[in-house]
Amino acid sequence: MSLYVYFKFIVSDHLLVLKHIRDMHDQLALEFPGLSCELLKRPLPDQDGKETWMEVYRGVATKTSEFNERLAELVLKNDLPQPRRNEVFISIE
């Protein structure tokens, strides 16, 4: 199972948002062994000058409510851009 979280924010906040997300990913990796965190962004800002970023979480931890609760806590603690939209995808076997 993979959790995809995407959100938008103004381009001038890029460095601050990046620092907060990297700090959050480091914390989550410590608390949830085996978790894989990835950060992506669209190549260009939208017509309103906002970047769209996507966090990707993979691993057993993404299947637990504990992970989702902790992710939500860290998002608030790090004052990350809102709204955030979560999508879950599973492998086709």
pLDDT per residue as tens digits for the range 14-38: 999 999 999 999 999 999 999 999 9
Task: Supply the CATH number for residue 13's domain.
Answer: 3.30.70.360
Domains held by the chain: number: 1
pTM comes to 0.90
Q: Decide: 2 and 56 in contact? Cβ < 8 Å.
A: yes
- Can you give the residue range of the structural domain that contains 24? 2-89
CA–CA separation, 74 and 57 (whole Å) = 14
Reported as a single tens digit per residue, the pLDDT across 53-83 is 999 999 877 788 899 999 999 999 999 999 9
Calculate the alpha carbon distances from 33 to 9, 46, 48, 71 in Å: 30, 36, 38, 14
